[in-house]
Amino acid sequence: MSTKFLKPLLLLIALGVFHSQPVLSGGGHPHDGSNHEDEKNHGAETPANVVTQYNNYTELFVEFPPLVVNQAATFVTHFTRLNNFKAVTEGTLDVILSRNRKVVARFRVKKPARKGIFLPDVVPNKTGIFELALELKTDSWTSRHNLGSITVFNNLDEAYIENKSSDAEVSYLKEQQWENPFAISKSQFVKLRTSVPGFGTVTAPLNQYTIIRAPDDGYFSSGKIISAGESVNINDELGSLIPRLGEDTDIGELIVDLERAKSRFELAKADVKRLKQLFNKGSVSEKLYMEAQKELNIAVVELKTTQSRLRQRSGGVESVGINIEAPIKGEVLSVHVHPGSFVREGDPMFSLAAKEMRWLKVQVPEKFGEKIHTTSGVWLKHNNRTLVLDKQSQALIVNTSREVNPLTRTVEVAIAYPSEKGPSLIGARLPVYLYIGEPKLSLAIPVSAIIDDNGQSVVYVQTNGESFERRVVTLGIRDNNTIEITSGIEPNEWVVSKGAYYVKLASTGGDSIGHGHAH
């Protein structure tokens, strides 16, 4: 980090030959406008102390020569905000020497020399061992770094480095980190959940989705045009259907049809009520309950159609129509008719769904079928975001299949969730990962830290503020944006979690990422 100058070069410096050049201090950084003669005379000849430390607010990276009594030592101090990994651009910095919890000396600079870099000169007037701290104060926060013991020596001959720099293979300067996308994360043990791949289809919950079909052949009539996206309440009128009646239609037959339709409606309504209670208790399957609900919907349409046809025939008014009403509260998803259009019996006219909830029906390969009953949710990519649907996002497992679909060779899990928590487009099909089993305590880092380097999974570990080490790692469980590392790093190491590719470029000596200062 520091630069050793040859004796002839020192003589030239002493004579002022390079007087107009920026002074190099603390590892060879040029700092415009500084003139630290003592630091030039001895600090640049001696390797620097190098310390990197983190607290809740900042990362401190500081380089300084051994401290010698009554000699100035420039602390080349880099401060990075940990909330955005950008340079600190304001604040007052104190370098504090203390002993027995009492401040012995304090050295202050009131602003950075340039973005992110403070250059306090420390001139101790006593020898011995002191506690060293750096304290940065701004108008809104204070960041203190306690660096432990430091020695103030009698002379340069007996001085030595107490905090040595690492011999990492990659140098990536602070100015580069501040200007390019960059972040670091600490490797730590967290609970991860195993997941298996599958595909999920977005649907509406039971009783909250319907397709309104034409009850008879006829012409659709409406006083207004219904559009997709409109909100409707239950029993809202969407229009009417003017059926075509043949001349040979017998009124007696219509009366019999009406009584038959009433009877079928009452039976279907009672059946749905009974099966709903059993379904809520888990005594009957979802399929059986849905079939009963479908029969009720058909019975409602048949009853209304028969009533309308009877009124039309008995009154002789050809303009009497069958009211088309919304059977549920929600929004219009699709419209297949417009005023004046002719439809055949059974043709779709509208599709409606409730807005509040969605279901995700997940199909996974049959080889995972024995494990799906342990699921706690899913994670998926949607609109360039990673989403987790589990209890924390108010999602609920509503059904797990106990049989393999013979056509797709998959098993199914249904998950209910609030529409705003996940994908809401009904019918959308998405790749998902279904959580199975209990969480496992694992050493993990962000997935974004992993680089595929010629088929190897690689991360870059920060060993000092501007030094990094390339590590080949072995991957384990992936849970959302976090991945288990089974070998290659240790707990509490800092890995580059954003901008790792820029560090890789720096390791190859590329010039495209720019340099802030010379080393």
CA distance 63 to 132: 13
CA distance 140 to 57: 11
Q: Residue 278 above 50 pLDDT?
A: yes
Q: Is residue 155 part of a domain?
A: yes
Residue at a domain's end among 353, 384, 413: 353
Q: Is residue 258 part of a domain?
A: yes
CATH code of the domain containing 462 = 2.40.420.20
**Whether residue 138 sits in one domain with residue 112:** yes
**Whether residue 143 sits in one domain with residue 50:** yes
Is the model more confident about 413 or about 27? 413
Q: What is the pLDDT of residue 312?
A: 59
**Whether residue 189 sits in one domain with residue 146:** no
Q: Is residue 364 part of a domain?
A: no
**377 phi-psi bin (left φ>0, alpha ψ -120 to 50, beta other):** left
**Whether residue 342 sits in one domain with residue 240:** yes
**Whether residue 224 sits in one domain with residue 75:** no
**Whether residue 150 sits in one domain with residue 290:** no
Kindly report the average pLDDT of the chain as a whole number: 84
Q: What is the pLDDT of residue 21?
A: 30
Strands 121-122 and 117-118: unpaired
Q: Residue 182 above 50 pLDDT?
A: yes
Dig out the tokens for 31 from the structure: 């700092």
88 in Cβ contact with 112 (< 8 Å):
yes
Closest CA to 23 of 147, 119, 151: 119
Dig out the tokens for 131 from the structure: 């506690």
Q: Is residue 493 part of a domain?
A: yes
**Whether residue 117 sits in one domain with residue 71:** yes
Q: Residue 17 above 50 pLDDT?
A: no
For the ranges 121-130, 217-226, 252-261, the one whose mean pLDDT is highest: 121-130
Strand partners, 444: 188, 484
Q: What is the pLDDT of residue 19?
A: 30
Residues 6+ apart with CB under 8 A from 444: 187, 188, 189, 190, 192, 479, 482, 483, 484, 485
Q: What is the pLDDT of residue 40?
A: 37
CA distance 378 to 388: 6
Closest CA to 398 of 375, 419, 365: 375
Residue at a domain's end among 331, 353, 375: 353
| Per-residue model confidence as pLDDT tens digits over 198-229 | 999 999 987 788 999 998 888 888 878 888 98
Helix (H, G, I), strand (E, B) or coil at 497: strand
Location of structure tokens 């926060």: 141
Q: Cα angle at 376 between 372 and 382, to 5 degrees?
A: 100
Q: What is the pLDDT of residue 61?
A: 97
CATH code of the domain containing 86 = 2.60.40.1930
Q: What is the pLDDT of residue 113?
A: 96
User: For residue 253, which phi and psi values (nearest 5 degrees)?
Assistant: -65, -35
Helix (H, G, I), strand (E, B) or coil at 86: coil
**Whether residue 232 sits in one domain with residue 145:** no
The domain in which residue 224 lies consists of 210-353
Q: Is residue 36 part of a domain?
A: yes
Closest CA to 100 of 36, 149, 58: 149
Residue at a domain's end among 300, 324, 353: 353
Q: Is residue 170 part of a domain?
A: no
**Average pLDDT score over residue span 337-357:** 91
| Per-residue model confidence as pLDDT tens digits over 45-88 | 457 899 999 999 999 999 999 999 999 999 999 999 999 999 99
Q: At what angle do helices 251-280 and 286-315 cross, to 10 degrees?
A: 160
DSSP 270-318: HHHHHHHHHHHTTSS-HHHHHHHHHHHHHHHHHHHHHHHHHHHHHHT-T
**Whether residue 220 sits in one domain with residue 140:** no
Q: Is residue 177 part of a domain?
A: no
Q: What is the pLDDT of residue 242?
A: 81
CA distance 464 to 168: 8
Say how many domains are in the chain.
Answer: 3
**Whether residue 234 sits in one domain with residue 147:** no
Split at pLDDT 50, 70, 90, the class of 510 is low
pTM, 2 dp: 0.68
222 in Cβ contact with 238 (< 8 Å):
yes
Location of structure tokens 């979802």: 286
Strands 67-68 and 142-153: parallel
Q: What is the pLDDT of residue 255?
A: 64
Q: Is residue 415 part of a domain?
A: no
448 in Cβ contact with 481 (< 8 Å):
yes
CATH code of the domain containing 219 = 2.40.50.100
CB atoms closer than 10 angstroms to residue 288: 13
Q: Residue 156 above 70 pLDDT?
A: yes
**Average pLDDT score over residue span 26-51:** 50
**Whether residue 141 sits in one domain with residue 221:** no
Closest CA to 497 of 455, 465, 473, 462: 462
352 in Cβ contact with 330 (< 8 Å):
yes
Question: DSSP alpha helices (H): ranges in 82-190?
Answer: 174-179
**Whether residue 223 sits in one domain with residue 123:** no
Q: Residue 272 above 90 pLDDT?
A: no
Dig out the tokens for 101 from the structure: 């919890």
